[in-house]
A and B are shown apart, each in its own frame.
Chain A
């Protein structure tokens, strides 16, 4: 009779779970397609690294370690759980491969595993209730907090562990012979507790524990898809299907090539069903850990954006409109009902959220898709309309004349010692220096253009610029959702580069670098100037004079599109460390944890609702690191940080310099490839 009861619970539990999962899969079936079935081996590799290896978790040491223990415990306990479930129905069941000594060893290991998981539940609960880490908090406008739900789940898992241990304890006592359980483990302690009871009591406890275990197991199984714990099942898939390449954007529609875009009726994401199935899977997979929002610079600045809530709000929407019990119903447009416009325009696409997420959930593609939808509806903030119009008519967001784009090369003192070739069809060069709009037109940033040219000149590079033939790379036009304008700019630039005959491209602008590397296809290889300089330094071709200001303390700020998106962290540091006498420190938030300066491209024109500027937060971080000069390798970082210094009232205490400007100031000029000429260089250099 007991067997039939347990068997019934099994069947009901499994059927329930299958039904729930089927209902949860429904929106994925209605969603847009997403081509994620390529490179299976690479994907499996990622599963090993991020899922099995829990690679991202240690970034938050305490929570990460706790989770690794819980996860490992679950993995180890998987086979045991399976065994326990079956053995109630088939008492002679033995796990294949886990009989005899190996089986016994496995039991010991899992005894400890259950204990550890149980302790971790207690630790996690205490953390939630007593220490209340800030990143778990839910601001009132987003709804109620998730603590109650979290405690409920932790409690259930704890009960599962206790039930499992109690069952193991009672099972061991019913022998014969009495099994030895792992010393000091939970089952071991329960065994001692039960040891003096009668066989009937032990058997009763055993049965009760078994029943509780089975009920708890199936309840959890069926409950998980209703909340954050669904990630237990979906994480494997969200990681397997994760994006393989950094710095890229999903196309407007997978499977529709650029030239067929005119046929697409609606661009971007306007309603929930416009998301791809992978995006919906992402919504399910979020564990609400808050790490993304904790690292989001927009969130820190007080903008109405926190990536975590982009996901949780979408998940709530999915649960409401595709309920497990009830009919699917169509909802209203997302913008204005689930998301606010400012929320979506606030993102600088810095990638800090994606860098942090242990489940590899993607955000940038979703934000860009939502922006595409708004643009398609003509819903663009007024402050962005002018620069977009200017990009369309003039190829730069400032509305300045195209013919003046190369004028920065023509300032007299500069032209005398460095004549920059304009590749206008009559002149060609091996290397194209792609300058991009801000460096071409902004009075302050033109200095980066000149420094970069002098450096290329110094290392003997045969290079030129496109001058008036160059248009904005379109990198941020694309990330603001104006795909058609981006394509027009891209096609123009690719033609111009082909006409120039250049075999490689160099740029000092990380946004342009990312565009050429990831947004443009079938183009010559591109490098960032920091890579070129580092190579020169390593080969001994570039040498530096002693640092001009010995008492200054320098700190390098990793630009988002050089660092996180393209993983170039070391080259700029190599260059800085090669300057004799340069004192350098690191900010706490450096490398892949770098804090966005405020954004580039069209972001400079957007007027966000925020409490503080991101740049101000960043220059304060530099001051905290005891630095007084920030070195950066991106003109947008330069603009934002210099501005921030003024706004924060830190003039005189903090300054910013571009890597190229610093290098240009300190390069040992004259012939410096042979040591005997160093003396000569020292006298004629600089």
Chain B
């Protein structure tokens, strides 16, 4: 049985929410496993982070080094390569940092690499069965991985539901084992996204548009609906890429995280990167022309209709019900 590790990110001492998910994923590989958590960083924040997962992980490896103060995938990789036993399985989330770190890491560890995994079966000998998606989530794939020399597996955020755990974590300081860390890539700064005219994270009701809005001119329907509902308009990534809305309106893993009470997904297919930005279990209403759109799997209520036809009708009805003149 290969040893299973989970690399966990943290910021200002607060642990990334993937921590319990990685534990759940590890249990899928081996129900009896006691995976080890690995943290890199520096100073008090690192200590706080390590301590906060004591109830989840029985062993917690701490790698503290000044250069690791800001997560630099190049340096983290060197550190992990120095301390990870060969043949191990390393789990981490498929997020912005994971995408940066994991492929190169798998090469340096000479381990197999399976990214963005949604499900894992129990390990059979040295072989793992996993489930991935391709073509923007339109089809799923069963994948087999030869883990004889170890594996680096990045998991889809939110795909593995955390279970109860009652561990008593012990922190092991591995800082001295990593040696001198150098990289030809240097972190300079983080630029926070501009606030924009509307802060979608503060609204209770969001009218969110996706590619199905078809053209910039049609966004006026969403705006009208938002106006009569007292809501704000947000969008998915393709709308921002097409420059129809500002980046500040984007909901998703590379956009804003929102926690509304009601989320109207209009013409949004439901790709996971978008849904990753919708938190707090709002009431999701989805309207999409395509009955097979993935959004219908996560929505509470769904309507198969063309938003360009449905929205004007909805606007009319809302106006009627509130006695607002057109």
> Do A and B come into direct contact in the complex, CB within 8 Å?
yes
Q: Which residues of A contact B (CB under 8 A)?
A: 382-383, 443, 605, 607, 613, 643, 646-647, 649, 651
In the complex, B312 has a CB within 8 A of chain A: yes
Given A382-B242, A443-B306, decide whether A649 and B326 contact each other with a Cβ distance below 8 A.
yes
Residues of A within 8 A of B172 (CB): none
| CB pairs A–B below 8 angstroms (16 shown) | A382-B243, A383-B215, A383-B242, A443-B306, A605-B215, A607-B215, A607-B216, A607-B217, A607-B244, A613-B217, A643-B308, A646-B312, A647-B217, A649-B326, A651-B312, A651-B316
In the complex, B220 has a CB within 8 A of chain A: yes
- Contact mask for chain B residues 210-224; partner A; CB cutoff 8 A; 1 contact, 0 none: 000001110011000
Residues of B within 8 A of A383 (CB): 215, 242
Residue of A nearest to B311 (CB): A646
Cα(A646)–Cα(B315), bound, Å: 10
Residue of A nearest to B244 (CB): A607
Q: Which residues of B contact A (CB under 8 A)?
A: 215-217, 220-221, 242-244, 306, 308, 312, 316, 326
Cα(A605)–Cα(B244), bound, Å: 13
Residues of A within 8 A of B308 (CB): 643
Residues of B within 8 A of A607 (CB): 215-217, 244
> How far in angstroms is the closest Cβ of chain A from B226?
16
- A-B pairs, top 8 by smallest CB distance, nearest first, are A649-B326, A646-B312, A607-B216, A647-B220, A651-B312, A607-B215, A651-B316, A613-B217
Residues of B within 8 A of A651 (CB): 312, 316
Residue of A nearest to B221 (CB): A646
Residues of A within 8 A of B312 (CB): 646, 651
Residue of B nearest to A652 (CB): B316
> How far in angstroms is the closest Cβ of chain A from B211?
11
Residues of B within 8 A of A649 (CB): 326
Residues of A within 8 A of B221 (CB): 646
Residues of A within 8 A of B326 (CB): 649
Cα(A647)–Cα(B308), bound, Å: 11
> How far in angstroms is the closest Cβ of chain B from A385?
11
Residue of A nearest to B216 (CB): A607
> How far in angstroms is the closest Cβ of chain B from A610?
9
Cα(A242)–Cα(B22), bound, Å: 76
Residues of B within 8 A of A605 (CB): 215
Cα(A232)–Cα(B221), bound, Å: 52
Residue of A nearest to B220 (CB): A647
Cα(A383)–Cα(B306), bound, Å: 21
Interface centre among A383, A646, A647 (most CB of B within 10 A): A646
Residue of B nearest to A606 (CB): B215
Cα(A567)–Cα(B316), bound, Å: 40
Cα(A474)–Cα(B217), bound, Å: 25
Cα(A643)–Cα(B306), bound, Å: 13
Cα(A646)–Cα(B221), bound, Å: 9
Cα(A572)–Cα(B11), bound, Å: 70
Cα(A607)–Cα(B214), bound, Å: 11
Cα(A431)–Cα(B174), bound, Å: 83
> How far in angstroms is the closest Cβ of chain B from A617?
14
> How far in angstroms is the closest Cβ of chain A from B317?
12
Cα(A605)–Cα(B243), bound, Å: 14
Cα(A607)–Cα(B215), bound, Å: 8
Residue of B nearest to A443 (CB): B306
Residues of A within 8 A of B217 (CB): 607, 613, 647
> How far in angstroms is the closest Cβ of chain B from A482?
20
